């Protein structure tokens, strides 16, 4: 089992340094194509007959779906399928109806949540169980029904040796059962649980104090959600841009000679569906149906306007690049699917449209693979699709292909000291998150990974946790990896000449 590593290194000042967080991230001109499906075809391309044929209808719980399909009544089959998904405990954690309560607006000048201080007072493994009553309340949190993320921060200022900690078995326990946070993904509502449990490993008693922080605020809520509802969540020259009632998913509202013109505006701002995350976060807290209704409207509009390209990667398009497809499947789409299940706006037809598109996403990612951090995103998106939708006959193959791909990339992309070969701190964390996601999903779904996957993953984790000056001691400062872009061939050559990497401690049982 791999354990996330945290290196706690002081910066000499406040606020505390966050050391780990589980968030509950060619030179030739490219043609600027619109939606790929300009062949007159609306999406999804998958027909009802083909979609239901792709389901394993012998699976327990799908009997009503199978009977309707056998009778050729796809309308009834869709109703039964939505009822099945509403009743099942979904593989990514549990899906509960949103709460009918509005959070207080958080002040913009301070942090809000819950915190508890711990001492790293002895070497080896130590188990912690923190009941809710053990946490102190900081300012005015929304409440236990909305925990945005868990973070571990350095608690004190002043010089002290760095502490290296390994985190394992992070879980919630209580009347709501037991759920492992590293497997469950987004578990915002902690009201049905009594305690947070985890284990920490320290190779030495560093004497450091850390705080376990539970963030319970949303500084952008509800204004950002309202901007999405108004179709004006993206900016042009610093001003919110009104995209109109009918969204154009290939929109790029800049003049050809505008220096601010970049297709990233379209790719990242429109087609990665971060706006769905904003709406679903608002919906989970307020149960205001307008948020769910907008997600469903965008889903139906996007799938109709942007059918999957049948015989190309889509990497020159505005809507179906494999990196966007992977990111959609890794986060916004399955999260929205699980969060919408109890919404009256999520009709049987809308549910079926979304499932069809997710099947098309997974098949697209399996067929068109690239390289570098793109490939890790594609692989983890494919794995998440196979994990969220085990009812699909192809899901086991998706999970296995993703696992094999990511194992090979751990060897290909990660240097012996843990640095990712693109030599960018940002890409390092992207690749690490993807490698870790596939490990978690494989553990949950029974996919057998090679015996040394966890050890390779630990090497990548160690490289991500170490500061640049420590992680790459022989690389000249001017060549060390940057936070936003690749450092270039000179850094790659320097890394190949660097001193042997120091080995990190390995707790028993890895």
Q: In sequence order, what DSSP letters do the residues of 374-413 get, joined into one string?
A: HHHHHHHHHHHHHHH-TTBTTHHHHHHHHHHHHHHHHHHH
pTM of the shown model: 0.68
Contact by Cβ (8 Å): 431, 463: no
pLDDT at 300: 97
**pLDDT tier, 475 (very low <50, low <70, confident <90, very high otherwise):** very low
Query: Residue 149 and residue 25: Cα distance in Å, rounded?
Result: 13
Integer angstrom CA distances of residue 274 from 226, 268, 293, 498? 14, 8, 16, 39
**Triad 207, 211, 212: Cα angle to 5°:** 130
Which candidate, 149, 164, 150, 156, places its Cα nearest to that of 117?
156
Would you state the torsion angle of the CA atoms of residues 218, 223, 229, 232, taken in this order, to the nearest 10 degrees?
Answer: -120
Tokens of 164: 């290296």
Residue range 97-112: mean pLDDT, rounded? 43
Among 80-94, 337-351, 463-477, whose mean pLDDT is lowest? 463-477
Query: Residue 299 and residue 271: Cα distance in Å, rounded?
Result: 11
**pLDDT tier, 219 (very low <50, low <70, confident <90, very high otherwise):** very low
Q: How many other CB atoms sit within 10 Å of the CB of residue 354?
A: 22
495, pLDDT greater than 80: no
**pLDDT tier, 61 (very low <50, low <70, confident <90, very high otherwise):** very high
90, pLDDT greater than 60: no
Task: Give the residue, 148 or 72, on which the prediction is more confident.
Answer: 72
Q: How far from the centroid of its chain's Cα atoms is residue 488's Cα? A: 28
Residue range 65-87: mean pLDDT, rounded? 97
Do strands 124-131 and 209-215 pair parallel, antiparallel, or not at all (unpaired)?
Answer: unpaired
String of DSSP letters for 406-457: HHHHHHHHB-TTS-BTT-BHHHHHHHHHHHHHHHHHHHHHTPPPPTTHHHHH
Segment 179-216, tens digit of pLDDT: 887 544 456 788 889 999 988 877 776 667 788 888 88
**pLDDT tier, 430 (very low <50, low <70, confident <90, very high otherwise):** confident
Classify residue 72 by burial, with Cβ atoms within 10 Å: 0-12, 13-18, 19+: exposed
351, pLDDT greater than 50: yes
Contacts of 344 (CB under 8 A, 6+ apart): 289
274, pLDDT greater than 90: yes
Segment 357-384, tens digit of pLDDT: 999 999 999 999 999 989 999 999 999 9
Among 86-100, 179-193, 264-278, 283-297, whose mean pLDDT is lowest? 86-100
Residue range 232-244: mean pLDDT, rounded? 93
Task: Give the residue, 403 or 222, on which the prediction is more confident.
Answer: 403
Task: Give the residue, 396 or 459, on which the prediction is more confident.
Answer: 396
Q: What is the CA radius of gyration of the chain?
A: 23
Task: Give the residue, 394 or 217, on which the prediction is more confident.
Answer: 394
Beta bridge partners of 21: 151
Task: Give the residue, 471 or 61, on which the prediction is more confident.
Answer: 61
Residue range 305-318: mean pLDDT, rounded? 95
Residue range 336-359: mean pLDDT, rounded? 96
228, pLDDT greater than 90: yes
Task: Give the residue, 454 or 510, on which the prediction is more confident.
Answer: 454
Integer angstrom CA distances of residue 21 from 167, 275, 433? 11, 22, 12
Segment 135-163, tens digit of pLDDT: 999 887 888 988 877 887 765 544 344 45
Query: Residue 301 and residue 274: Cα distance in Å, rounded?
Result: 16
Query: Residue 445 and residue 438: Cα distance in Å, rounded?
Result: 10
27, pLDDT greater than 50: no
Q: How many other CB atoms sit within 10 Å of the CB of residue 425?
A: 21
pLDDT at 199: 86
Supply the CATH classification number for the domain 369-510. Answer: 1.50.10.100
Integer angstrom CA distances of residue 462 from 155, 204, 408, 481? 22, 17, 19, 15
Tokens of 365: 């990612």
Task: Kindly provide the b/e burial profile for residues 427-464, where b requires at least 16 CB atoms within 10 angstroms of the residue's own CB.
Answer: bbebbbbbbbbbbbbbbbbebebeeebeebbbbbbbbb
Q: Which residue has the tokens 């099945």?
A: 84
Q: How many other CB atoms sit within 10 Å of the CB of residue 55?
A: 20
**pLDDT tier, 302 (very low <50, low <70, confident <90, very high otherwise):** very high
pLDDT at 8: 37
Beta bridge partners of 127: 199
- 3-state helix vs strand vs coil in the chain, percent to 5: 40, 15, 45
Segment 34-54, tens digit of pLDDT: 444 455 668 899 999 999 999
Query: Residue 377 and residue 324: Cα distance in Å, rounded?
Result: 9
Helix (H) or strand (E) holding 471: helix 468-471
30, pLDDT greater than 90: no
Residue range 256-276: mean pLDDT, rounded? 94
pLDDT at 449: 86
Query: Residue 104 and residue 369: Cα distance in Å, rounded?
Result: 45
280, pLDDT greater than 60: yes
**pLDDT tier, 28 (very low <50, low <70, confident <90, very high otherwise):** very low
Contact by Cβ (8 Å): 510, 2: yes
Mean pLDDT of the chain: 77
Helix (H) or strand (E) holding 172: strand 163-174
Terminal C-alpha separation, the chain: 5
Among 296-310, 342-356, 394-408, 469-483, whose mean pLDDT is lowest? 469-483
Residue range 466-470: mean pLDDT, rounded? 42
Q: Give the CB-side neighbour count of residue 492, counting CA atoms within 13 A.
A: 8
Contact by Cβ (8 Å): 187, 90: no
Which candidate, 345, 327, 320, places its Cα nearest to that of 433?
327
pLDDT at 163: 53
**Triad 187, 190, 194: Cα angle to 5°:** 130
479, pLDDT greater than 60: no
Using DSSP's 3-state secondary structure scheme, residue 42 falls into: coil
């Amino acid at each position: 089992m791999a354990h996330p590593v945290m290196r706690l290194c002081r910066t000499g000042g406040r606020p505390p340094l966050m050391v780990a967080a589980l968030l509950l991230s060619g030179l030739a001109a490219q043609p600027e194509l619109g939606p790929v499906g300009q062949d007159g075809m609306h999406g999804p391309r998958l027909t009802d007959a083909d979609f239901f044929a792709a389901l394993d209808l012998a699976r327990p719980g799908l009997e009503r779906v199978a009977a309707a399909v056998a009778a050729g009544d796809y309308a009834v089959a869709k109703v039964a399928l939505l009822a099945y998904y509403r009743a099942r405990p979904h593989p990514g954690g549990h899906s509960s109806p949103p709460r009918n309560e509005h959070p207080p607006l958080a002040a913009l000048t301070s942090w809000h949540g819950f915190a508890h201080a711990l001492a790293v007072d002895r070497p080896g493994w130590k188990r912690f169980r923190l009941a809710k009553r053990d946490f102190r309340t900081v300012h005015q949190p929304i409440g236990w029904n909305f925990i945005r993320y868990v973070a571990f921060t350095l608690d004190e200022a002043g010089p002290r040796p760095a502490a290296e900690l390994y985190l394992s078995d992070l879980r919630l326990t209580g009347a709501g059962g037991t759920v492992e946070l590293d497997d469950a993904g987004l578990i915002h509502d902690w009201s049905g649980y009594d305690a947070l449990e985890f284990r920490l490993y320290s190779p030495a008693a560093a004497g450091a104090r850390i705080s376990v922080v539970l963030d319970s605020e949303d500084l952008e809520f509800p204004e950002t959600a309202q901007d999405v509802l108004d179709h004006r969540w993206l900016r042009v020259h610093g001003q919110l841009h009104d995209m109109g009632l009918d969204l154009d998913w290939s929109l790029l509202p800049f003049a050809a000679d505008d220096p601010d013109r970049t297709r990233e505006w379209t790719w990242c701002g429109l087609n990665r569906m971060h706006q769905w995350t904003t709406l679903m976060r608002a919906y989970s807290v307020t149960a205001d149906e307008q948020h769910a209704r907008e997600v469903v409207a965008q889903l139906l509009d996007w799938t109709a306007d942007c059918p999957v390209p049948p015989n190309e990667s889509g990497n020159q398009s505005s809507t179906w690049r494999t990196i966007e497809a992977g990111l959609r499947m890794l986060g916004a789409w399955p999260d929205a699917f699980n969060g919408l299940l109890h919404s009256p706006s999520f009709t049987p037809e809308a549910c079926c449209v979304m499932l069809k598109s997710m099947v098309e996403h997974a098949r697209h990612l399996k067929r068109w693979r690239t390289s570098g951090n793109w490939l890790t995103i594609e692989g983890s998106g494919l794995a998440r699709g196979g994990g969220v939708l085990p009812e699909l006959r192809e899901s086991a193959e998706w999970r296995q292909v993703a696992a094999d791909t990511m194992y090979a990339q751990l060897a290909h992309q990660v240097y012996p000291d843990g640095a990712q070969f693109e030599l960018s701190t940002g890409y390092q964390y992207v690749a690490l998150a993807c490698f870790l996601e596939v490990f978690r999903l494989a553990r949950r779904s029974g996919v057998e990974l090679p015996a040394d996957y966890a050890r390779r993953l630990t090497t990548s984790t160690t490289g991500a946790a170490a500061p640049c000056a420590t992680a790459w001691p022989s690389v000249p400062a001017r060549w060390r990896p940057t936070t936003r872009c690749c450092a270039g061939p000179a850094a790659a050559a320097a890394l190949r000449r660097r001193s042997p990497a120091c080995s990190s401690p390995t707790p028993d049982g890895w």
